[in-house]
Amino acid sequence: MSSNDIGLKLHISTGTVRNYLSNTASQLHAGNRFEAARIARQKGFL
């Protein structure tokens, strides 16, 4: 799902989505959103 799609669904700006995803990836020590999702799944967050 793209940042734009997420923003439209949640009624927030694309920039806000990118910021949240970037912060989440950073906290998980992931290089990108896909790696962050993989790590979150491994840790049982998803």
The secondary structure element, H or E, covering residue 34 is: helix 33-42
Domain that holds residue 37: 3-42
pLDDT at 6: 97
Residue found under tokens 């990118």: 18
Predicted TM-score (pTM) of this structure: 0.79
Q: What does the pLDDT read at residue 27?
A: 96
Q: What is the distance, to the nearest Å, from the Cα of residue 2 to the centroid of all Cα atoms in its chain?
A: 10
| The pLDDT value given to residue 19 | 97
In this predicted model, what pLDDT tens digit does every residue of 1-46 receive, in sequence order?
A: 999 999 999 999 999 999 999 999 999 999 999 999 999 999 999 8
Per the structure, the count of domains in the chain is: 1
CA-CA distance, 13 to 26, in Å (whole number)?
Answer: 20
pLDDT value of position 26: 96
Residue 22 pLDDT: 95
CA dist 23 and 16 (Å) reads 11
Residue 20: CATH number of its domain: 1.10.10.10
